[in-house]
Amino acid sequence: MTFQWRDYRAILALAAPIAGIQLAQVALTTVDLAMMGFLGVAAVAAGGLALLLYNQLRTMCVGMVTGVGNLVAAAAGRGEKRTGTLELDDEARTEIRAYLRAALFVATTTAATGALALIALGYALRWMGQDAAVLDLARPVIWMLAPGLVPMLWLNVLRQFAVGMRRAGSLLRVTLWSVGVNALLDALFVFGWFGFPKLGLAGIGLATTLVQCWTFGAYLSSVRRDPVLGALLSLRAWQADRSTVARIVRMGTPISLTYGAEAAITSIATVLMGGFGPVALAASNIVNQLAYIVYQVNIGLSQGSSILVSRTVAQGDRGAVAAIARRTFVIGFTFMTAIGLLYVLAPHLVLAPFLGSHHDDTAVIAAASALLWFAIVQQYCKGSQNLCIGLLRGIGNTRAGMQSTLIGYFAIGVPAMVLFGFGIGLHGPGIWLGLCLGFAATALLVLRRFRRGLRDEIAGAELAGRS
């Protein structure tokens, strides 16, 4: 029994800091959404729409550098195998520094492109049936949020570097501090306290961008002080090796498209919900944010197990992949079941932080309470597919997830949303029913691809053992 707990603890040791970091990052936008509740339902609808678009682009940008953690972990694993200790040799050190420089170059160009795309989306939505008043409120928030993608992605490069080296804990502390700083700045800019400009809804976007800058600076200082990470740190992105940049882009593009497809189907659902009015949109934004919080724990498990698989495979122990996968799913499903019970037993407690005392809130609570049941189903389906995608990435397959999501989301999910929401007339619940079907189909497809890849890995390990 002790041995089994140690095996689970190995996954949790990697996954918990990543999940904590993810949760703290999402806490920034969750605090933002809660602060919008003080400004009324229209502000929740508009600001939630801006945050959802921001999260869409943020997720895709992060996907471009997510594979860096696997590359760093594999390089470290090979270096440790060559030395026979936990120390890295010079070859591994050189390789890791090259990955870091190239990743920072990719991050800068990707984030700048993402910021421009975010601003463009704020204007393109007028042709997609969104309420004009909602868009007028959302655009200033989008303009304030867009520049924050650059320091956010630099931070994620450092995060992948630290996670690949199994030293992510300091980032968790920094990110937790950032949540408090964000809440304070939100209040200062929304209400104009202590002489700060009273910017209202736009001030929430500005606060988030300023916090992203502060968080990157604080974590960079922490990395410099770390005896292991500081010795490997190289920020000279302009000296990035072209072939290494190309390798990161090749690995990151399928991941980015997979993450983008995951975010896109939710964005499409939100745009469709906007067609049913501000109350339906506000309810969907709140439940989506709750589901997004739960999803961060699965991202932590996915990335943690992915890093562990990459390191294990690099050290030649392919047969351990199945055990890592099994333990990852046990942890993930245990957590999702606990959250589902909370939604069922205390829905008003879960929804209360996002709503103020406005007269429209009763209708929003009723709509959001109904959508919570769909959120429970969604978290199992979406969580399962994310765990499988991370495990596949650990064995070097980043394309299977992209192919499965394109089929599950856009061939099944989006048509189902339109059919149930508008064709059958189920409105908001119909949109979320179609959303759940898209995630369920994708989960089944990616699970099949992972099981096939797992069989190949085990067969390869057995063949290597016989030779």
Q: How far is the C-alpha of 23 from the C-alpha of 10, rounded, in Å? A: 20
Is position 104 within any domain?
Answer: yes
Q: What is the pLDDT of residues 91-124, one digit of tens each?
A: 889 999 999 999 999 999 999 999 999 999 888 7
Select the more confidently predicted residue: 279 or 409.
409
Asked if 206 contacts 189 with a C-beta cutoff of 8 angstroms, the reply is yes
pLDDT at residue 12 greater than cutoff 50: yes
- Residue 309 pLDDT level (bands cut at 50, 70, 90): confident
pLDDT of residue 2: 42
pLDDT of residue 319: 65
pLDDT of residue 360: 52
Is position 467 within any domain?
Answer: no
- Residue 307 pLDDT level (bands cut at 50, 70, 90): confident
Please give the share of the chain, as a percent, with pLDDT higher than 90: 17
pLDDT of residue 96: 93
Q: How far is the C-alpha of 36 from the C-alpha of 39, rounded, in Å? A: 5
- Residue 433 pLDDT level (bands cut at 50, 70, 90): very high
Question: Across residues 232-261, what is the average pLDDT?
Answer: 88
Q: For the chain, what is the mean pLDDT?
A: 82
Select the more confidently predicted residue: 286 or 420.
420
The range of the structural domain enclosing residue 202 comes to 2-462
pLDDT at residue 273 greater than cutoff 70: yes
Total count of domains within the chain = 1
Please give the share of the chain, as a percent, with pLDDT higher than 70: 90
Q: Within 13 A of 350's CA, how many CA atoms are on the CB side?
A: 26
Output the pTM of the full model: 0.74
pLDDT of residue 449: 84
Is position 443 within any domain?
Answer: yes
Nearest of 369, 396, 238 to residue 313 by alpha carbon: 396
Select the more confidently predicted residue: 279 or 456.
279
Question: Across residues 292-312, what is the average pLDDT?
Answer: 81
Q: How far is the C-alpha of 130 from the C-alpha of 132, rounded, in Å? A: 6
pLDDT at residue 129 greater than cutoff 70: no
Is position 86 within any domain?
Answer: yes
- Residue 50 pLDDT level (bands cut at 50, 70, 90): confident
pLDDT at residue 3 greater than cutoff 50: no
pLDDT of residue 128: 63
pLDDT of residue 465: 52
Is position 148 within any domain?
Answer: yes
Is position 311 within any domain?
Answer: yes
Question: Across residues 410-415, what is the average pLDDT?
Answer: 91
Retrieve residue 100's tokens. 């870091």
